[in-house]
Structure 1
Amino acid sequence: MVTIKEIAKAVGVSSATVSRVLNYDPALSISPAKRQAIIETAEALNYETPRNRNKATTQTAPSLLTKLVIVHFLEPSDEIADPYYIGVRLGIETRCRDLRTEIVKVFHSDALPEAGLLSGASGIIVIGKHSDHEIAWLRQHARHLVFADFDPKDDALDSVFSDVELATMKILDGLKATGYHRIGFIGSHEKLNDSVQRFAEKRCAAYIDWQRRNGTFEPDLLALADCSTGQSLRLETGYRLAHELLALSERPDVIVTSNDNMAIGAYRALQEAGLSIPNDIAVVSFNDIPVAQFLTPPLTTVRIHSEHIGETAVDLLLERLSGRSYGKQVRIATELIWRASCRKPQ
């Protein structure tokens, strides 16, 4: 049984560093190359968390899913910077390890995946947003196809996702009930089908819709990045966009960010400006990555069960391989975790 200590020795870092990387701690000061080396070493040595060691190994139709291809919308460096998407992939890999399934990973590039690689696999799981052209290509060459953390809006396709629009409404309703009035938003535009779609990202669109229905929409309270890859949702982007909101003549009294990485960047901008969280400006976010509860103050955020999304994607493939002939879409519920970064409704 491989231990954290053995992984640390192989990579040349401390056991504490390995533990923090494998628990997706983005606050850890470590180079992307070293972080990737730890993750890849753990995978190569078949490291299992204590939780998974204690689970009985399941053998649900082990002969059906013999080879799985994961097609990711991010590049490796972008995925390593985002603990949420690492969670989705590890959920897939944990389930496949139980099934003794071979996994091939294909990360984002300018070229489409090799057709022979796709057609030779039992099934394909696609992580994240993909264009209509990419989806058509994947459908043409895949035996069975499941989308994880993306709903292509085609009920013939299998997909598993969380409803971030509904989660955004939960956040905004809660903030309104708590007495917040000027609610700022930090996020990004959406790039799909080779064009930037302004205000189309689901959390952003839900924010605008909610503000308009409540008669409180102010365009100046939107701070958005023009996205091309997942880099638009990183810590440094949240830091920069928070400065844009702080430059307003009338600042927001609470900021909602599209993910916890951006919230961490916003924390730094607020603290450098000498502002108190939540007394001067509150912060709320999405994903509930492990470090969120250890920020000062702990971050209020929407818990999205990334590992369960990955596990469910594998289960949908198994259903297809067992004979299901119709499309199936699964929505994984979110949970709003109230912490000290904002007031909590009574």
Structure 2
Amino acid sequence: MVTIKEIAKAVGVSSATVSRVLNYDATLSITEAKRQAIIETAEALNYLTPRNRPRPHRPQASSDHTGARIGIVHFLRPEDELADPYYIGVRMGIEARARANRVEVQVIYRSTELPPAEDLQGAAGIIALGMHTDAEIDWVRHINANLVLADFAPNIDLFDIVACDLSFAMTRLLDQLYAAGYRRFGFLGDDRPSGNVLYPANEERAKTFREWTEKRDLFNPAHYLLAEQLRFESGYRLACQMMAEANLPEIVVTSNDNVAIGAYRAIQERGLRIPTDIAVASFNDIPAAQFLAPPLTTVRIPAERIGENAFDLLMEQLGGRDYVKRVTIATELIWRDSCRRPDGAA
């Protein structure tokens, strides 16, 4: 497990500064460049530690694409990506694979309008990262037919897709928490569908949580709170709203670790103890999750692996593959001290 001291040494800052950045301390005065360096270094060091396990050699596409250029069309603005280290991990997975294959990467971040097609002129292929609108996907398709969707799995079979099965992951998490004795469940997150018509998709974590709890007559609308963005600030706000209820849930499940960090702060500001008074479990396993007090139980979504596989699929397309692939990356439930675990859980 990487340590805060190792991150601080790599970036050239104090351990206290690293801790405050990873825990979204809004009172910290630090440049955006230094903040980005800390978050990216934390992700990179986690990426290199034994937690990710050595991988066997994976054959590459038969054609040599040395010197080629590919595009990443990001669904976030740069400042939004910085607020969610998970997507930094996906991007870094693509970029690391590209460097190993001597392929150039151009990143196009979201803006208020679709960028000119000339911005990706000459790209051999494109990876669309995250949940895009119908118009954005059609814009990308018009530019280049070699397209992979990474961490976005609309209900279609037109494109190569790399993602995790979040419905399965949420069901497994809730089953395990139920086995650990929890009965009063709360949820903080986002349940909005993509709004797409041509390429529809849903936010599976919230949808599955509601279906699972309703099926067992455990759903409480007062404990099911939603925000438009899965960020620290929304997690804090929603948790404050939940803490105003007289009857608190035994455990709060959040859509991602950013929301969980906000919930931690709201819970602890009210003098409540995690997990004694209220437990927390989440998704993503960003670097900060292991440094919270107590460390956060979370479903690890292997961001870098999603990026790596997206790159590999694009190289296969460039090598001549003429059928569509849909790759599902397995998640892993990481038990830490923010909740009870069932008997026998590792």
TM-score of the two chains, using structure 2 as the length reference: 0.84
Q: Which residue of 1 aligns with 2:317?
A: 320
Q: Which residue of 2 aligns with 1:308?
A: 305
What displacement does 1:201 show?
Answer: 2.2
Alignment counterpart, residue 167 of structure 1, candidates 155, 166, 169: 169
1:244 aligns to 2:226 (yes or no): no
Q: Which residue of 2 aligns with 1:342?
A: 339
Q: Which residue of 2 aligns with 1:299?
A: 296
Q: 1:235 to 1:328 in 2, by over 3 A?
A: same
Q: Which residue of 1 aligns with 2:4?
A: none
Q: Which residue of 1 aligns with 2:37?
A: 38
Q: Please, which moves more after superposition, 315-324 or 65-74?
A: 65-74
What displacement does 1:185 show?
Answer: 0.1
Alignment counterpart, residue 130 of structure 1, candidates 123, 128, 132: 132
1:256 aligns to 2:253 (yes or no): yes
1:74–1:107 contact (8 Å) kept in structure 2: yes
Matched residue SS, 2:293: coil
Q: Which residue of 2 aligns with 1:265?
A: 262
Q: 1:133 to 1:212 in 2, by over 3 A?
A: same
What displacement does 1:62 show?
Answer: 3.7
Alignment counterpart, residue 92 of structure 1, candidates 94, 112, 127: 94
Letter of the 2:111 counterpart: S
Q: Which residue of 2 aligns with 1:154?
A: 156
Supply the distance in 2 between the matched residues of 1:40 and 1:158 (Cα, whole angstroms).
29
Supply the distance in 2 between the matched residues of 1:168 and 1:311 (Cα, whole angstroms).
24
Letter of the 2:33 counterpart: K
Identity of aligned residues (%): 47
Q: 1:34 to 1:118 in 2, by over 3 A?
A: closer
Matched residue SS, 1:103: strand
Q: Which residue of 1 aligns with 2:3?
A: none
Letter of the 2:222 counterpart: D
Alignment counterpart, residue 213 of structure 2, candidates 211, 214, 228: 211
Supply the distance in 1 between the matched residues of 2:40 and 2:131 (Cα, whole angstroms).
28
Letter of the 1:312 counterpart: N
Q: Which residue of 2 aligns with 1:109?
A: 111
Q: 1:41 to 1:266 in 2, by over 3 A?
A: closer
1:70–1:104 contact (8 Å) kept in structure 2: yes
Supply the distance in 1 between the matched residues of 2:218 and 2:90 (Cα, whole angstroms).
35
Computed over aligned residues only, the root mean square deviation of the Cα atoms, in angstroms, reads 3.3
**Correspondence list, 1:177-256, <5 A:** 177-190=179-192, 192-193=194-195, 200-225=202-227, 227=228, 232-256=229-253
2:46–2:287 contact (8 Å) kept in structure 1: no
Supply the distance in 2 between the matched residues of 1:177 and 1:186 (Cα, whole angstroms).
21
Q: 1:62 to 1:14 in 2, by over 3 A?
A: farther
Q: Please, which moves more after superposition, 298-307 or 287-296?
A: 287-296
Matched residue SS, 1:192: coil
Q: Which residue of 2 aligns with 1:279?
A: 276
1:237–1:262 contact (8 Å) kept in structure 2: yes
1:64–1:122 contact (8 Å) kept in structure 2: no
Matched residue SS, 2:148: strand
Q: 1:39 to 1:96 in 2, by over 3 A?
A: farther
Q: 1:290 to 1:39 in 2, by over 3 A?
A: closer
What displacement does 1:7 show?
Answer: 8.1
Q: Which residue of 2 aligns with 1:70?
A: 72
Matched residue SS, 2:171: helix
Letter of the 1:270 counterpart: I
Matched residue SS, 2:107: strand
Q: Give structure 2 stretches of 5+ with no counterpart.
A: 1-6
Aligned residue pairs, count: 323
Q: Which residue of 2 aligns with 1:329?
A: 326
Matched residue SS, 2:245: coil
Q: 1:207 to 1:7 in 2, by over 3 A?
A: closer
1:183–1:255 contact (8 Å) kept in structure 2: yes
What displacement does 1:338 show?
Answer: 1.0
